Amino acid sequence: MAATTTETTCLFCSLCCPAGVAVDEYGLTAPEYPGHTPAAHHGLCYRGHFIAELANHPGRLTDGIARDGSAMHAVRPAEALRRAAELLHGIRNELAVVVDGNLPCEELAAAVRCARDGLGIGRATIFIPPADEAMLRGLAASQAPRLGEAAVAECDVLLAVGDPFATHPLIASPALDAIGKARGHQLINVDSLRGRTSRFAADFCLVRPGGDAAALAGILNALGSFADLSLAKAAEMAGVAPGALERIAAALGKAQKLGVLLSLPEGRCAAASAVAALAAKIALVRGGGICPLLTYGNAVGARRVAAALGATPLAQLLAEIKAGAVKKLIVLGTDLAAALPVSELASVEFVLAASAMPSATTARARAVVPMALWFEMGGTVVDGAGQRRSAGRIASPASGALTPSQVLAALGAEKGTFSFSASLTQDELDALLGAEAPAADVLSAPVAWGAPTAEGRLVLVSRSDGIGFADGSMSAQLAWPAMMEPRPVLRLNPRDAQALGGDAATVRSNGVAIALAIAASGDVPPGVAALSPRFGEARALFPWTAGGAGPALVTVEKCGGND
C-alpha cells in the first residue's frame, strides 16, 4: 500500500498548525509537510513530529492495569473498569472527575455531561495548565483584538513578553517577516532570561525573574494609561532603569500597528494574569492586538466548554480536596500527579486513571485503562486567537484505547445506570463555544508584582525550551527530546557557576532537594538559575498551584560538600 498523507491539527500549542502525517500499511509512520499555515514559510516545529511517534510509541498503554496493594497486574480494560466500578460503589459526594482539556470540544462536553448526568458525579473539572488558565483569566476582560499568525506578519512593531521564539517556534516566521519588511520595524523583548527571541530584538529589556508585570505596568504608565504604579517604583520592582521602560514606551508610541506576543510558561513569571492583562492593555491603548501563546492547543476551547457547562474550576477542586470534601478522583487523559505539587494531591486517592502512556498519575491509580489520543478522536478545537479549527481523526484508536466519554460510559454501564451519545449538533456546539468564563479583576494588587529575593538564595526560573508539555508527562517519553537533553541541567550565570565550582549541585526548594548537573550560560543573569520544566523531578522545585507556578527561591550547594 502506498503511503498517503492525511492532515489533522497539532494541539501541542495554541497556534494549532495543520499537521500532515504519512499513513501506510503500518499506520501513522512519519510527519509530512503538506500546506501549512499561510503565514509560515514552511513546516511544523519539532513538536509536530511527535504525533507519529506517540501513535506508535512502544511504551503506549494497550492493556488495563489493576493494583492490589503495591502489586500491579495487567488486565483487560474491561476488567480494570469493573474494579474501578467496585471501588466507586455507593460513592458520589466524595468523588470528582478531571478530564484533560487538550481534547476536541465535543469530547470534553460529552465527558462532562457523562460524568454529571450519567454517573451523577457533581464535580467535573476540565484541566488546562495553570499558566494557560492564568493567561486567559488575565485576557478575559480585555477587548484587545486577538492576532493570528497572518495578522502578526502585518505589524510594524512587536512587543514580545517572555520567549515566544523558544516556546512557539512557528510564530517566529511571521514575526521575522514583520520586522524585516521595512526599515524602522522592530521587535522589543521583555524577559527575565536572554532567550532566542532576545537575539532578534532591537531592544531587549532584561527584568528580574517575576518582575514582568511591574515592567509592563511601568511601560503602560509611561504611555499615560496606568496610574496605580509609578514609573520609578515599577522600574525598581522590575530591576531595570526607568529610562529603559520609557524608551520602550516611546517605541510603542510610534507603532502604526502594534502586536504583542505573549508567552508565559510555567515557572517563568510570578503574576501571569496581571502580565496578560497589562499586555492586553498596552495593545489596546496603542490600537494593536495581542497574540496569546498557550501551551494547550485547545485551552481556549476547553475554557469555553467549562464555562458553558459550569464545570468545577481546578482551584475550587483543589480547595475541596484540601478541605477533605473530595477524597477520590477519576483522572482522564492528564497527568495530574505530575502537573501539580504532591502536597496538593496527597490526601486524594486516584481510583481510575485513563492515559495513553504510563505516567505519575497511572503509577498512583488503583485502576488504569488505555486512552485514545486527540488525533484518534477528531473534533473541533479553538486556537489561541479564538478561531475554530477542525482537528481531524487520522487514525483509529490504539488497541483497547478509549475516549474519556467512553470510559465514563463504560463505568456507568458496569453499574447498569445508563447509555449515552457523544455527538453534538452544530447549534449545541455553537452554544458551547459561544460561552466565556467571567472576567476577574487581576490588576488590583500591584504591590505583589515585585520579584522574589532572599539573601544567599538564587531565583529559579523555567527555561523555555518548548519541548516540555504542560503536564510533564509526554515529552519525557519521546525519543528526540531524550536525545537532545536526556537529563535535567541547571544553568547558572558563569560567575555563579564558578563560585559554586564542580559540575553538579544539590538544589533545594519547596521542601524538595534534588541533585542536578550544572552548566554555565551567559543567557542567565547573576543570581538566577534556569531549568527545563519537562523533567518531573525538576518540576517539583517550582511552587505549582492551580494559580500557576512562578519563580522559586532555591539554595544551590555543591554536591558532596565543599571538597
CB of 173 to other proteins, least distance (A): 5
CB of 175 to other proteins, least distance (A): 9
Nearest residue (CB) to other proteins, 3 versus 499? 3
Pairing of strands 552-558, 528-531: unpaired
Nearest residue (CB) to other proteins, 84 versus 373? 373
Helix axes 231-238, 242-253, angle to 10 degrees: 110
CB of 531 to other proteins, least distance (A): 18
Nearest residue (CB) to other proteins, 53 versus 63? 53
Nearest residue (CB) to other proteins, 180 versus 310? 180
Q: Which three cell numbers stand for residue 406?
A: 467512553
Beta bridge partners of 554: 458
Nearest residue (CB) to other proteins, 22 versus 513? 22
CB of 523 to other proteins, least distance (A): 10
CB of 34 to other proteins, least distance (A): 10
Please state, in angstroms and as integers, the Cα–Cα distance from residue 229 to each residue in 159, 226, 281, 444, 447, following that order. Answer: 21, 7, 15, 11, 8
Q: Cell 533545594 identifies what position?
A: 508
Nearest residue (CB) to other proteins, 169 versus 412? 169
- Minimal CA–CA distance to 132: which of 293, 335, 301? 293
Pairing of strands 123-127, 512-520: unpaired
CB of 374 to other proteins, least distance (A): 19
CB of 539 to other proteins, least distance (A): 22
Nearest residue (CB) to other proteins, 35 versus 434? 35
Please state, in angstroms and as integers, the Cα–Cα distance from residue 511 to each residue in 451, 541, 542, following that order. Answer: 21, 8, 10
DSSP secondary-structure letter at 313? P
Nearest residue (CB) to other proteins, 31 versus 333? 31
CB of 141 to other proteins, least distance (A): 32
Q: Which three cell numbers stand for residue 388?
A: 475554530
Which positions lie near other proteins, rule CB under 8 A? 30-31, 33, 40-46, 49, 52-53, 165-166, 169-170, 172-173, 176, 180, 196, 199-200, 466, 479-480, 483-484, 522
CB of 52 to other proteins, least distance (A): 7
- Minimal CA–CA distance to 13: which of 546, 510, 465? 465
Nearest residue (CB) to other proteins, 192 versus 198? 198
Q: Which three cell numbers stand for residue 250?
A: 516611546
Nearest residue (CB) to other proteins, 49 versus 366? 49
CB of 160 to other proteins, least distance (A): 12
- How far is it, in rounded angstroms, from Cα 481 to Cα 469? 11
Q: Which three cell numbers stand for residue 525?
A: 543573569
CB 329 within 8 A of CB 96: yes
For the CA atoms of 174, 210, 267, 464, the dihedral, rounded to the nearest 10 degrees, stands at 30
Nearest residue (CB) to other proteins, 35 versus 224? 35
CB of 58 to other proteins, least distance (A): 12
First to last CA, the chain: 64
**In which order are the strands placed within the sheet that holds 367-370?**
71-75, 64-68, 367-370, 349-355, 328-332, 95-100, 123-127
Nearest residue (CB) to other proteins, 32 versus 133? 32
DSSP secondary-structure letter at 469? -
Pairing of strands 64-68, 367-370: antiparallel
3-state DSSP of 198-209 = HHHCCEEEECCC
Nearest residue (CB) to other proteins, 13 versus 337? 13
Q: Which three cell numbers stand for residue 299?
A: 485551552
Contacts of 561 by beta carbon, 8 Å cutoff, 6+ apart: none
CB of 169 to other proteins, least distance (A): 4
CB of 294 to other proteins, least distance (A): 17
CB of 387 to other proteins, least distance (A): 20
Nearest residue (CB) to other proteins, 456 versus 522? 522
Q: Which three cell numbers stand for residue 411?
A: 463505568
Q: Which three cell numbers stand for residue 184?
A: 524602522
Helix (H) or strand (E) run with residue 350 in it: strand 349-355
Q: Cell 487514525 identifies what position?
A: 395
- How far is it, in rounded angstroms, from Cα 276 to Cα 263? 9
- How far is it, in rounded angstroms, from Cα 520 to Cα 495? 8
- How far is it, in rounded angstroms, from Cα 292 to Cα 160? 10
